[in-house]
Structure 1
Amino acid sequence: MNGATLFGLSAADLATLMAALATFAVLVAIYAAATVRNPMSRRVKALNERREQLKAGITVSNTKRRARLVHQRESTDFMRSLLQKLKVLQDDQVKVAQKKLAQAGIRSKDLAVAVIFGRLILPIVGGLTAALLIYVVDIFPDWTDVKRFGAFAVALLASYKAPDIYLSNKISKRSAAIRKGIPDALDLLVICAEAGLTVDAAFARVAKELGRAYPELGDEFQLTSIELSFLTERRQAFENLAWRVDVEALKGVVTTMIQTEKYGTPLASALRVLSAEFRHERMMKAEEKAARLPAIMTVPLILFILPTLFIVILGPAACSIKESL
């Protein structure tokens, strides 16, 4: 008699498949552990290129990057011309897209046109694909007309919102990573200010010290240090930092730095007060998460832990009662 099967696979086939997947996972883990790369190398290279751009006043620093940027500029120019012909390209949309790209850690401003172009093209491609699969190929023959139209509408809306969802996800992750390192960065800035370092040197030192623990924050501080050294107005460098990062705490730091530059107030004392406030805020958030933990654990406790506990405790007693009866 043939044994039971699952999706046409026998128990031996399923065991072989699971063993193959486990072996593949082990190989991937070994490869990932053996090829660990320095997360700061690419960021340092990008910052050095930015320093050369500010120093020489040019757009590119080498031939390879020039060719890549020329190709990218040609693609964005084509998208820009098409959007302008359709009269759907507005300056406000471009500025908003550029700001989101900067907050997501993407330095190229030309990609803002690509984001707007994606909002135009992706709904067409996604809608046509969904219509082809749902109405022509008929992959869901049992669905009613209402379900088919709902699936088509969801695919169309998801295609339109895909670029914004991608950018919002990157912005939220990057902002959370930067927010964690602000108190430590302020403490180091206080130490550097009391040691007599200038503001740009202090930012560079803090970026070097925090580069591995908080690479996103170190990246922004290093770029701010470079702009402080080369831009004609130091205020513009601080405003660029607030523009690139979607974190209210860092905007408060930027406001404090601008005021100290303008009025000559003591930098160390102001940063020390801000650092204490941010640490208190971070502690309050941790306490809030700890207070929500019992309510969050209630559902897993009821669904998974308590039934298993009852089976372990009451199972032997039930077996004994059944045997005695």
Structure 2
Amino acid sequence: MLHALSELLRVDTLITLLFSIAAFAAVLSFAAPLMQDDPLKARMKAVSVERDRLRAEQKIKGLGESKLRDKRNAGAARRFVDILNLRKVFEAETSRELLRQAGLRSERHLILYLVARVGFPIGMGLLAFGYVSIIYADTASPQMLIAATAFGLIAGNYLPYLLLRNLVTRRQASIRRAWPDSLDLMLICVEAGMAIEPAMQRVAREIGAISVPLAEEMTLTVAELSFLQERRKAFENLGKRTGLAQVKSVVTSLIQSERYGTPLGTALRVLAQENRDMRMSEAERKAAALPPRLTVPMMLFFMPVIFVIIMGPVFLTVSKLLF
């Protein structure tokens, strides 16, 4: 055993091992992009499914029947939601709006989210109770078990909402970053004589390389403009699905242009300039906040190294003279 360990710790063996790891990492870095799926293609496929759902829903409404529901979800989860009336308990429309902002539009996503709002507290409460009962079996008092269970219940109650809110925040950040560029592209298309639908379709194709969520939302808006009876509703849905003030201001201008026939190019030019200024102001604000944030890391990591470099030779010289 000691002989094998000494052979492993030899310099030439370690050098060979390090070179092997470096070669594997280099091959992996080149091969990883080739093995990844195209996120834009997957999202556009999901949008096509949503477009088909909208078409079927409008067809059902045209026949005077009730609103179309996703029949694929008629399973145990749906029955569980219906029995406990979770749609009313957790305000299904508010949850549905939040799920749409996260890019989850299917009825199945709503069912799973409502089930998670019930299942997570129970599961984490039982997990906390079992953990304390097993790890602290000798010292755990009833009050300690009750406190741990209550903590698990509270954490489980907020965990699904926090996870969903994190998805919404990341998605909104992607849309916010690419929105000024999309307005510039839309302005070019509109001033070139294109209508709003082909302009948004073209922008969705071009902006997908920067922000897949924004391309998805604009493609879905084009589909709604084709199927919904009120075009104003399609623009309002775009603002609701994104939940961003920048998008809602542009949506208001588009609705006014559709209703009153005002020049859309002029409004888009002003809004594009405002969004560029807002993005620049946000970048300047982050740059101004950078020095205070760097103070603590510099004191913890840079200053000790500088002291060692400056004072190290002095200490070595003094130690040689003294000893």
TM-score by length of 1: 0.82
Amino acid at match of 1:240: N
Q: Return the offset for 1:217.
A: 0.6
The change in CA–CA distance for 1:89 and 1:34 in structure 2 (over 3 A counts) is closer
Rounded to whole Å, the distance in 2 between the matches of 1:192 and 1:243 is 24
- State the partner residue of 2:95: 97
Q: Work out whether residues 40 and 211 of structure 1, in 8 Å CA contact, stay in contact via their aligned partners in 2.
A: yes
- State the partner residue of 1:43: 43
Share of identical aligned residues, percent?
36
Q: Which moves more between the two structures, 294-303 or 140-149?
A: 140-149
The change in CA–CA distance for 1:144 and 1:275 in structure 2 (over 3 A counts) is farther
TM-score by length of 2: 0.83
Rounded to whole Å, the distance in 2 between the matches of 1:323 and 1:148 is 62
Q: Work out whether residues 126 and 149 of structure 2, in 8 Å CA contact, stay in contact via their aligned partners in 1.
A: no
Q: Work out whether residues 207 and 222 of structure 1, in 8 Å CA contact, stay in contact via their aligned partners in 2.
A: yes
**Alignment partner of 1:254 out of 248, 251, 254:** 251
- State the partner residue of 1:235: 232
State how many pairs are aligned: 299
| Residue 305 of structure 1 pairs with residue 279 of structure 2 | no
- State the partner residue of 2:159: 162
Rounded to whole Å, the distance in 1 between the matches of 2:111 and 2:295 is 47
- Where 1:90 maps in the other structure, the secondary structure is helix
Q: Return the offset for 1:36.
A: 2.9
- State the partner residue of 1:132: 130
Rounded to whole Å, the distance in 2 between the matches of 1:21 and 1:128 is 43
Q: Which ranges in structure 2 are unaligned for 5 or more consecutive residues?
A: 3-7, 61-69
Q: Work out whether residues 192 and 202 of structure 1, in 8 Å CA contact, stay in contact via their aligned partners in 2.
A: yes
Q: Which ranges in structure 1 are unaligned for 5 or more consecutive residues?
A: 3-10, 60-68
**Alignment partner of 1:222 out of 219, 228, 236:** 219
| Residue 274 of structure 1 pairs with residue 264 of structure 2 | no
Q: Which moves more between the two structures, 151-160 or 126-135?
A: 151-160
- Where 2:91 maps in the other structure, the secondary structure is helix
The change in CA–CA distance for 1:114 and 1:51 in structure 2 (over 3 A counts) is closer
Amino acid at match of 2:82: S
Q: Which moves more between the two structures, 33-42 or 181-190?
A: 33-42
The change in CA–CA distance for 1:47 and 1:287 in structure 2 (over 3 A counts) is same
Rounded to whole Å, the distance in 2 between the matches of 1:44 and 1:113 is 23
Q: Return the offset for 1:38.
A: 1.8
- Where 1:232 maps in the other structure, the secondary structure is coil
Rounded to whole Å, the distance in 2 between the matches of 1:229 and 1:166 is 34
Rounded to whole Å, the distance in 2 between the matches of 1:21 and 1:162 is 38
Q: Return the offset for 1:145.
A: 7.6
The change in CA–CA distance for 1:243 and 1:147 in structure 2 (over 3 A counts) is same
CA RMSD of aligned residues (A): 2.9
The change in CA–CA distance for 1:148 and 1:302 in structure 2 (over 3 A counts) is farther
The change in CA–CA distance for 1:283 and 1:119 in structure 2 (over 3 A counts) is same
Q: Work out whether residues 183 and 275 of structure 1, in 8 Å CA contact, stay in contact via their aligned partners in 2.
A: yes
